[in-house]
Amino acid sequence: MKAIEITGLSFTYKGSEKKAFTGIDLDVEEGSITAVVGKSGCGKSTLLRCIAGLCPRVYQGEMVGTISIFGEKISSISHVSLSTIVGIVFQNPATQLFSPTIEDELAFGPENLCIPREEIGNRMNDVLRIIGLEKHRNLNPANLSGGQQQLVAIGSVLTMRPRILLCDEILSWLDLEGRKAVRDLLIELKKHGTTILLADHRDEKIDIADKIVRL
Ligand code: ADP
Ligand code: MG
């Protein structure tokens, strides 16, 4: 099954003369890792924002073409259900973390969806295990290493149980150890059937990708 199907997509930010990208076609198989590569400014972040529904809902502009998520046109999926299907993680983990403890950070998304307490607890335990931070659950994310912070940022999206995870240059700010931990996590998530789309401006770190798409 296709997790993401994009045809003839282009996006122009409001007030901008030129398109962020034009005529993108892309198929992403469910349960695969796809890397979107290309130099800075070629539109990788914009593409991920379109798939996550942030363009044009949050970032205003004109989108042409179609995006389907598991066979359903994105325009017909509500904002809330899209946010439970597609999760997005950004380059700098520090900008995404704001809670006093890792537990609070992981609970934030599902709490907003009014998911029952017990279910949130179960999800939190699953995610803490998969990101390997069970022992640190009560620590403040600000006191973690960059790599651990990125694991928490990914974890805070995983408690929403997204079927698709979009990662925008999430390895860029990490040291070798941090990168390895995040890579291992992505491989583990793929084993669980999560579809992953990674944007990166370098090719070298994407040996885990099943498919590489150049923008
Ligand atoms: P990449 O992630 O590959 O570096 P971006 O998607 O950030 O590329 O940018 C693609 C194009 O869109 C660039 O020309 C950039 O200047 C423009 N752009 C990106 N974000 C915005 C924004 N919020 N408002 C206006 N233009 C933007
Ligand atoms: Mg970018």
- Predicted confidence at residue 166, as pLDDT, reads 98
Q: For ligand 1, what atom is nearest to the CA of residue 168? A: 2
Ligand 1 centre and the CA of 67: distance in Å?
19
Token pair 């502009």 is found at: 61
The whole-angstrom separation of Cα 32 and Cα 99 is 31
Task: Sheet with 33-37: list strands edge to edge.
Answer: 86-89, 164-168, 195-200, 33-37, 211-214
For the residues 185-204, what does the mean pLDDT come to?
Answer: 90
Residue 173 CB contacts under 8 Å (≥ 6 apart), including other chains: 91, 92, 93, 146, 150
* Burial status of residue 1 (CB atoms within 10 A of its CB: 0-12, 13-18, 19 or more): exposed
For the residues 174-186, what does the mean pLDDT come to?
Answer: 88
Ligand 1 centre and the CA of 46: distance in Å?
6
Confidence (pTM): 0.94
Ligand 2 centre and the CA of 38: distance in Å?
10
Rg (CA), the chain: 17
pLDDT-derived band at 125, boundaries 50, 70, 90: very high
Q: What percent of the chain has pLDDT over 90?
A: 87
Q: For ligand 1, what atom is nearest to the CA of residue 201? A: 3
The whole-angstrom separation of Cα 153 and Cα 95 is 9
